[in-house]
Amino acid sequence: MDTDDIEQYIQHIIDRKETSLNLSNRSLRAVPSSVAHCSFLEHLYLNNNELIIPPIEQLSTLTNLETLSLEHNQLTMLPDTLWTLRSLIRLNLSHNPLGQISLALGQLRNLHELWLTNINLYDIPLNLFSNLNQLEKLSLKSNHLRQLPSDIGYLIELRWLCLEDNELNDLSDCLQDCVHLSYLNLNGNNFAHVPNVIGKLSSLNIISLQRNAIAEINDETLLMFSNMTKVDLRENPLIDRPNHWKGLDFIKVGRCIEVASYNEEEDEETESSESSQE
């Protein structure tokens, strides 16, 4: 689709006042200025392009926007206008070389889903999460995080958290305040033991700790797992299943023999940006 075709498509959206605009996979380097005339939009998909210039003016009029997908671009900075979109429910910034995230993101108080996978993030500003108490899904996969901010405990509605492929070796007890958390992915970190806070997450059903440095599980930790439906400890130094683990088949140990490893979070992320575009 060339530039003229894209402009015709946007004009079609404007004429019909459609609420969804899909400009993904168009090799765009900048967002067309005509997008600013789509003030009625609720869903905007700009993922899988070559965006370098942040869409400053184009976003300023989109006050009804609920979904914004900017993943898989080349953005190194984000416009301040983004933080004024207070109706946003789903925001995907994954796979951009951002290097940092603004504390102003915390102004988006209606967010239910936030995807920050692979944005070259080394730390998270303190108090970023303090006002995001409606957030249900959070991905911080494939960054360089060594610790989480204490205010992550303010995410009282959080149900799904992916911290895969970071540099974590422990979890703050503040996570225990996430009382609805049911899925936690800690694959590919530096854990030598199962974090104690896991035992305080009463709603946790699934935890994945593949590719860490866990060599043993004591009985106290085993009790933490008793109410869960899946515990994945594969690709750790703990290879063999102890004899007294009989009947605990929901705990997986040893090597991953499947072609594809356990990557539920990738399915979730793909779904977040693509399913509603169909």
Please report the pLDDT score of residue 272 as a whole number.
Answer: 53
Model confidence, pTM: 0.92
Confidence label for 244 from pLDDT (cuts 50, 70 and 90): confident
DSSP structure class, residue 268:
H
Confidence label for 75 from pLDDT (cuts 50, 70 and 90): very high
Please write the tens of the pLDDT for every residue from 129-156. 999 999 999 999 999 999 999 999 999 9
Helix (H) or strand (E) holding 56: helix 56-60
Dist CA 269 CA 275 (whole Å): 10
Dist CA 35 CA 28 (whole Å): 13
Please report the pLDDT score of residue 278 as a whole number.
Answer: 41
Residue 263: pLDDT above 60? Answer: no
Residues contacting 50, CB < 8 A, separation 6+:
27, 28, 29, 73, 74
Q: Where are the domains of the chain?
A: 3-252
| Cβ-based neighbour number of residue 8 at 10 Å | 12
Architecture of domain 3-252: Alpha-Beta Horseshoe (3.80)
Please write the tens of the pLDDT for every residue from 156-191. 999 999 999 999 999 989 899 999 999 999 999 999
DSSP structure class, residue 223:
H
Taking all residues of the chain, what is their mean pLDDT, rounded to a whole number? 91
With tokens 């500003």, the residue in question is 125
Please write down the HEC assignment for all residues of 143-167.
CCCCCCCHHHHHCCCCCEEECCCCC
Please report the pLDDT score of residue 23 as a whole number.
Answer: 98
